Amino acid sequence: MKFTKYLGLRLLTWALTIWIGVTFIFFVPRMFPSDPVETMIGQIQARAGQMDPLQMEMLRRSLRVQFGLEGSLLEQYLSFLWKGLLQWDFGPSLMSYPTPVGDIIRTYLPYTLILTMTSTILAWLVGNFIGLQAGFRKDRRSSKIMEGIAICIYPIPYFIVALILQIVFAYILGWFPLQSTIYTFGGFGPFIRSLIRASILPALSLLLVSTGWWIISMKSLSSTVAEEDFVLFARYRGIPSGKIGRSYVMRNSIITQITALAMSLGGAFNGSIMTEIIFGYPGVGGLIQKAVLRSDYNMILGCITISIVAISTATLIVDLIYPLIDPRIRYS
Amino acid sequence: MRKFWRNANFRLKAGIIITAFFLLLGFVVYYIPHVDPFTYNTYRGKLPPSWEHPLGTTSMGQDVFWLLIEAIHNSLLIGLIVATIGTVVGVFVGLLSGFSGGVVDRVLMVVTDTFVVVPSLPILVLMTSLMKGSTTILVMALVLAVFAWAWPSRQIRSLALSLKERDFIHTAWFSGEGTMEVVVTEILPYALTWSLSNFMNATLAAIASESSLAVLGLSPANLISLGNMIQWARERNAIFAQQWFWIGPPIVATVLLFIGLFLLITGYNDYLSMKRGR
C-alpha cells in the first residue's frame, strides 16, 4: 500500500521534471533577441546572392513552419509538447535536410547510451568497492594511496582527462586512433571490433573521473558507519571482519550511494558529451557539436529534449531500485 | 589566524596554498603592465621558451605566458561571479523552501530537483549558441548561473529543516522574534558557514562548464579563458605540431586549479566537522 503511494509520487515527480525541463527549453530561446529564421535567411542569402522579395517571403514562411514558429505562443508551446515530447517529432534536420531529427538521433543515441551506461555502472561498482575497502580499513597504506589518487583525478573536468588520454595514448604512444571510426558496414564482427576499439579511450576517461568520485564519497560514508555502535558490537561478538564489511558497513552505506547514483546521471551525461566530442565518437555529443556548428536548432532542441527524458527516466529507474534494497523505505 | 593554521588539516593547507597561488596569478600578476596578449603577430611565432617569453609564443605570435595569466584571471572571474549569484539565490530559495513548508516548499523542491537532475550542458549549449560570439563575461556568467543555484538550495533547505527543530530557534521564536528576524539573525550565520564550501564548489563547476562550452566553440570568441586557450591551441593543431609549451600550460593550470579548489573544499568540510567535534 505504502509502496504504491511511493511509486505514484515518484512517477508524478518524473513527469513534472520532464515537463519543467522541456518548458524551460521551449521558452529560453524565445527570450533571446536572435531569430533562427533570420539567421538562416542571412546564410542562404550569403550563399545564393540576392533573391526576389516574393520568394524570400515564401522561404521565410516555410522556415517558420519547420522551426515550429507558426501561430501564437500558446499554440507553439502546445504543438511543441504534443509533437516533440509525445511523438518525438522535432521537424526536419537542417544540416541533413529533409531527414527528420528524430531518425538521426535514433541512430546516434544507442552509442551514447552504451558508453554512458557501461562506464557509469562500472565506475559505481569499482569505486564503491575500493571506497568500501578504503573506509573500512582506513589505516592501511593502500587505502590512503587509493584515496589520494582519487582526489587528484576526480576534480579535473571530463574533457581535460579525455584530452590528456588522447595526447598520451593516441598521439604519443599511438595505441589508438586519434579519432574513432566505427564500421557500420562489413558485417557484425568488424562492427563490434571497431566499436570496442573506438570506445576504450572515451570509456576510460569517463571511468577515471567518476570512479574517483565514488571512491571519495564511499570512503567517507563507510568510515563513518564503521565507527557506529552496532559495528563495534559486531566486532565484540567476534563476527569475522569480512562479514562485517559486507553485511554491516556495506549494506548501510550503499543505500546513500544509490541515491547519489541517481543524482549523478545528469553530470555523467554532460561528461560523455564532452568525451565524445574530444574523440569524435559518434554519439549524441558529437551530434550536438555538429548541430551547433551548422546552427541546426531543430536538432539541438531534439537532442536536449531526448536527453532530458532519458536522464529523468534513468533517474526514475535507479530510484525505484532503492526500496528493493532498503526495506525501511516501504514503511516510512 | 595562527590557531586556524595549526588546526587545519593537510588538505585544507594544500588547498589554500594552491588556490592562493592562482589568485595571486589572476588578480595580482595580471595587473603588472604587459603587452595585450590577444593581438596577433606581436612577436615572432612559434618561439621556444626563453627569458623574454617564459612559455614561448603561439603560432600567431602571441606570448603564451601572458595569455595564460589573462586566461586564469578571466576564468576565475567567471567562476566567482557565477558562484556568488548561485550561492545568494540558492541560500534564499533554500531558506524560503525550508521555512515556509507546504505548497511553496513542494513547488520549489520540484523545480530545484529538476535543475539538479536535468543535464545542464546541452541546455547551456542551446542558450550560448543563440548568442554565438556576441557575449561578454557578465552575460556568460549569468547564463552559467542558471544551473548554479539548485544544488546549494537543496543543501540549505535540508539544513533549514534540521535547524527549525533546534532549541535555540524555538527560544528565539517564543521570545517574540518575527520569521524574518529569526532567519537573518539565527539561521543565516549557520547557512553562511555551509555556503562557503558550496561557493567553492560552484566556482569549480562554473569554470568547468565555461571551458566545456569553449571546446564546443561557444564561449565568446574574444574572451581569453582557460577553456578557450586550450581550444585555440587544439584548433591550430598544437598537438600535431608538438607545441607542448602552448597547449600544455592551460591544461596543467586547469588541472592544478581544480585539484587545489577541490582540496580546499574537502579540507574545509573536514575542518568544519572536526570543529563540530566528530
Within an 8 Å CB–CB cutoff, is residue B130 touching chain A?
yes
Judge whether A99 lies within some domain: no
For residue B216, which residues of chain A lie inside 8 Å, CB to CB?
A: 277, 288-289, 292
C-alpha cell at A243: 562479514
CA angle, residues B99, B101, B107, in degrees to nearest 5: 115
User: Which of B278, B12, B276, B275 minimizes the C-alpha distance to A224?
Assistant: B278
Mean of the pLDDT values across residues A243-264? 82
User: Which of A288, A299, A291 minimizes the C-alpha distance to A100?
Assistant: A299
Mean of the pLDDT values across residues A31-46? 72
In angstroms, rounded to a whole number, what is the distance separating the alpha carbons of residues A309 and A21? Answer: 9
Q: What is the pLDDT of residues A274-291, one digit of tens each?
A: 899 888 888 888 888 888
Which residues sit opposite A92 in a β-bridge?
A100
Same domain, A240 and A324: yes
The CA distances from residue A140 to A136, A163, A242, A243, A244, in Å, are 10, 33, 15, 19, 17
Same domain, A123 and A262: yes
Query: Domain range holding A297?
Result: 104-330
- Provide Rg for chain A, Cα atoms: 25
Look at residue A329 in the predicted model and tell me its pLDDT: 56
Same domain, A70 and A213: no
Residue A222 zone, left/alpha/beta (φ > 0; ψ -120 to 50; rest): alpha
In angstroms, rounded to a whole number, what is the distance separating the alpha carbons of residues B166 and A286? Answer: 51
Q: Which B-chain residues 243-262 have CB contacts (< 8 A) with chain A?
A: 251, 254-255, 258-259, 261-262
Burial of residue A238 (number of CB atoms within 10 Å: 0-12, 13-18, 19+): exposed
C-alpha cell at B206: 562554473
Look at residue B132 in the predicted model and tell me its pLDDT: 66
> Which residue, A87, A112, A133, sits at the end of a domain?
A87
What letter represents residue A216's amino acid?
A: I
User: Is the pLDDT score of A68 beyond 90?
Assistant: no
Q: How far does the CA of residue B217 sit from the closest CA of chain A (Å)?
A: 8
Sequence-ordered list of residues with C-beta below 8 angstroms from that of B261, at least 6 positions apart, any chain? A155, B15, B18, B19, B200, B203, B204
Whichever domain contains A124, its CATH number is 1.10.3720.10
Same domain, A225 and A130: yes
**CB–CB contact A295 B129 (8 Å):** yes
Same domain, A141 and A28: no
Q: Where are the alpha helices (DSSP H) in chain A?
A: 2-31, 36-48, 53-66, 73-79, 87, 101-136, 141-153, 158-165, 188-225, 229-236, 241-243, 251-279, 284-293, 297-325
Mean of the pLDDT values across residues A259-264? 82
Look at residue B80 in the predicted model and tell me its pLDDT: 93
Q: How far does the CA of residue A51 sit from the closest CA of chain B (Å)?
A: 25
Sequence-ordered list of residues with C-beta below 8 angstroms from that of B123, at least 6 positions apart, any chain? A24, A25, A28, A304, B146, B147
Same domain, A163 and A310: yes
DSSP B114-158: HHHHS-HHHHHHHHHHHTTT---HHHHHHHHHTTTSHHHHHHHHH
In angstroms, rounded to a whole number, what is the distance separating the alpha carbons of residues A299 and A288? Answer: 7
Query: Domain range holding B216?
Result: 2-277
CB pairs under 8 A between A and B: 124
For residue B127, which residues of chain A lie inside 8 Å, CB to CB?
A: 28-29, 32
- Helix, strand, coil shares, percent, chain B, to 5: 75, 0, 25
Q: What is the pLDDT of residues A140-154, one digit of tens each?
A: 788 888 888 888 888
Average model confidence (pLDDT) across chain A:
82
In angstroms, rounded to a whole number, what is the distance separating the alpha carbons of residues A13 and B110? Answer: 7
How many CB atoms lie under 10 A from the CB of residue A232?
A: 12
Query: Any idea which of A64-68, A229-233, A259-263, B268-272 has the lowest mean pLDDT?
Result: A64-68
For residue A112, which residues of chain B lie inside 8 Å, CB to CB?
A: none
Angle of helix B102-117 versus helix A251-279 axis, rounded to 10: 50
Whichever domain contains B118, its CATH number is 1.10.3720.10
For residue B131, which residues of chain A lie inside 8 Å, CB to CB?
A: 32, 34
Within an 8 Å CB–CB cutoff, is residue B125 touching chain A?
yes
> Which residue, A55, A87, A119, sits at the end of a domain?
A87
Quote the DSSP letter at residue A100. Answer: B
Look at residue B133 in the predicted model and tell me its pLDDT: 59
For residue A25, which residues of chain B lie inside 8 Å, CB to CB?
A: 123, 126
Q: Which among A17, A158, A216 has CB closest to B117?
A: A17
Question: What ipTM score was computed for the predicted complex, to two decimals?
Answer: 0.82
**CB–CB contact A17 B212 (8 Å):** no
Nearest CA in chain A to B227: A160
Within an 8 Å CB–CB cutoff, is residue B277 touching chain A?
no
CA angle, residues B143, B146, B152, in degrees to nearest 5: 140
Which residues sit opposite B57 in a β-bridge?
B63
In angstroms, rounded to a whole number, what is the distance separating the alpha carbons of residues A260 and A277? Answer: 26
This prediction's pTM: 0.84
Q: What is the pLDDT of residues A150-202, one digit of tens each?
A: 888 888 888 889 989 988 888 888 888 777 777 766 677 778 888 888 888 99
In angstroms, rounded to a whole number, what is the distance separating the alpha carbons of residues A2 and A306? Answer: 32
Number of domains in chain B: 1
**CB–CB contact B254 A157 (8 Å):** yes
Look at residue B89 in the predicted model and tell me its pLDDT: 92
Look at residue A122 in the predicted model and tell me its pLDDT: 93
Same domain, A62 and A172: no
Look at residue A34 in the predicted model and tell me its pLDDT: 66
Judge whether A92 lies within some domain: no
pLDDT in tens for each of the 278 residues of chain B? Answer: 777 787 778 888 999 999 999 999 989 888 888 877 777 777 777 777 777 777 777 777 788 888 899 999 999 999 999 999 999 999 889 888 888 878 888 888 888 888 888 888 888 888 888 776 567 888 888 888 988 888 888 888 888 887 777 777 777 777 777 777 777 777 777 777 778 888 888 898 899 999 888 888 888 878 888 988 888 888 887 777 777 888 889 999 999 999 999 999 888 888 887 776 54
User: Is the pLDDT score of A56 beyond 60?
Assistant: yes
> A10, A95, A159: best mutation site toward chain B, by most B Cβ within 10 Å?
A159
> Which residue, A87, A118, A151, sits at the end of a domain?
A87
A104-116: b or e for each residue (b if 16 or more CB lie within 10 Å)? bbeebbebbbebb
In angstroms, rounded to a whole number, what is the distance separating the alpha carbons of residues A157 and A274? Answer: 9
Q: Which B-chain residues 17-36 have CB contacts (< 8 A) with chain A?
A: none
Judge whether A72 lies within some domain: yes
Q: What is the pLDDT of residues B182-201, one digit of tens each?
A: 777 777 777 777 788 888 88
Q: How far is C-alpha A252 from the geometric centre of its chain's CA atoms? A: 27
For residue B153, which residues of chain A lie inside 8 Å, CB to CB?
A: none
How many CB atoms lie under 10 A from the CB of residue B218?
A: 26
User: Is the pLDDT score of A80 beyond 50?
Assistant: yes
Report long-range pairs for B13-17 (Cβ below 8 Å, ≥24 apart). Answer: B13/B267, B14/B260, B14/B263, B14/B267, B15/B260, B15/B261, B15/B262, B15/B263, B15/B264, B15/B265, B15/B266, B15/B267, B15/B268, B16/B264, B16/B267, B17/B260
Same domain, A83 and A113: no
In angstroms, rounded to a whole number, what is the distance separating the alpha carbons of residues A216 and A224? Answer: 13
Q: How far is C-alpha B190 from the geometric centre of its chain's CA atoms? A: 22
Same domain, A63 and A121: no
Number of domains in chain A: 2
Three-state DSSP class for residue A207: helix
Three-state DSSP class for residue B204: helix
Average model confidence (pLDDT) across chain B:
83
Q: Which among B11, B125, B131 has CB closest to A32?
A: B131
The helix (run of H) or strand (run of E) holding residue A183 is: none
Same domain, A133 and A204: yes
Q: Contact at 8 Å (CB) between A204 and A165?
A: yes
Same domain, A173 and A314: yes
User: Which of B134, B114, B256 minimizes the C-alpha distance to A24?
Assistant: B114
Look at residue A127 in the predicted model and tell me its pLDDT: 92
Burial of residue B173 (number of CB atoms within 10 Å: 0-12, 13-18, 19+): middle
Judge whether A98 lies within some domain: no
Q: Which among B110, B218, B251 has CB closest to A13?
A: B110
